[in-house]
Chains A and B, each alone.
Chain A
Amino acid sequence: MELLFFYLVALVAVLSGFLVIKCKSPINSAISLVMTFFCLAVFYVMLNSPFMAAIQIIVYAGAIIVLIIFVIMLLNLGPETKARTTHALAWGSVVGALSILKGGAITTVTGEITDEVVLQVGHTELIGQAMFTNFLLPFEIASVLLLVAIVGAVVLTKKEV
């Protein structure tokens, strides 16, 4: 049953991912991208990571897609006329084959964060514990990065600096 549900969600995710790269109009691509993000959020719930699913919906399907659609509307883009001629399909297949091959080397080492621990302690608590102890420095660097991005976006879109 779970496998059937997985295949359904995977089918929708791959189909909408395909539509992202095939739609002529940028708006249609953006809507398909939202669909892919929702499918990935469903996967995250199936993988016992509800916090990540919530972040996926809020940050990706919420903030980033709204920004993209806003810019598409602002620039008033029409459908593009012709595609670039590259050997993209071959390169994409090479990348796909390589990334499927990477699955061969997975060990069966299991750490201490099992499903029972996640259910007992709570996913958000575990994330918070890891982030504010082991990953405190990357967390601070990420906040500086966001500040730089805010200032950079404001500076770039100003008429004269």
Chain B
Amino acid sequence: MFTVTVYHYLVVSAILFSLGTIGVLTRRNAIIIFMCVELMLNGVNLSFIALSHYLGNMDGQIFVFFVMTVAAAEAAVGLALMIAFFRNRESIDVEDFNLLKW
């Protein structure tokens, strides 16, 4: 009763993931949207590691390693994109991202 079970970790991970989703859908600033995506990735990482620990299997942790690699690559490319966009439009508001809209 008074021990931490895998469900505790899964609930925290679900809460973090939903917070990230809400942030991605409500904010206008592209950098904050980017941070919310990182929050969602971290929620998933937590559930990977919790399940990996409770199932006694290493594969989940290797997967987290690759998620972190992709997140680092995403940070580099995404922030470069934002700088390129800011140079053109003087803003990184996602409402101004309408070049491909029709």
**Across the interface, which residues of B come within 8 angstroms of A3, CB to CB?**
2-4, 8
Name the residue in B15, B35, B54, B92 with the highest tally of chain A Cβ atoms < 10 Å from its Cβ. Answer: B35
Which residues of chain A come closer than 8 Å to B58, judged between CB atoms?
111, 113, 126-127, 130
Contact indicator A77/B34 (Cβ below 8 Å): no
B interface residues, how many (CB within 8 angstroms) = 73
Interface residues on chain A, number (Cβ under 8 Å): 81
| Contact indicator B10/A40 (Cβ below 8 Å) | no
Q: Assess the B83–A71 pair: CB atoms within 8 A.
A: yes
**Does A120 sit within 8 A of B, measured CB to CB?**
no
Known: A92-B25, A149-B77, A157-B83. A52 touches B35 (CB 8 A): no
Residues of chain A contacted by B20 (CB below 8 angstroms) = 17, 21
- Residues of B close to A86: CB separation below 8 A: 25-26
In contact, A111 and B55 (Cβ under 8 angstroms)? yes
**Closest A-chain residue to B24, C-beta based?**
A88
Contacts of B33-50 to chain A: CB distance below 8 A: 34-36, 38-39, 42, 45-46, 49-50
User: Given the known A-B contacts A68-B34, A92-B25, A106-B6, are A40 and B19 also in contact in the complex, defined by CB atoms under 8 Å?
Assistant: no
Which B residues form the contact surface with A (CB < 8 A)? 2-4, 6-23, 25-29, 31-32, 34-36, 38-39, 42, 45-46, 49-59, 61-62, 64-66, 68-77, 79-84, 86, 92-95
- For the complex of A and B, list the 3 residue pairs with the smallest distance between their C-beta atoms, beginning with the closest: A88-B25, A96-B18, A21-B23
The chain A residues found within 8 Å of chain B, CB to CB, are 2-3, 6, 10, 13-14, 17-18, 20-21, 26, 29-30, 33, 36-37, 40, 43-44, 46-49, 51-52, 55-56, 59-60, 63-64, 67-68, 71-72, 74-75, 77, 80, 82-84, 86-89, 91-93, 95-96, 99-100, 102-103, 106-107, 109-114, 126-127, 130-131, 134-135, 138, 142, 145-146, 148-150, 152-154, 156-157
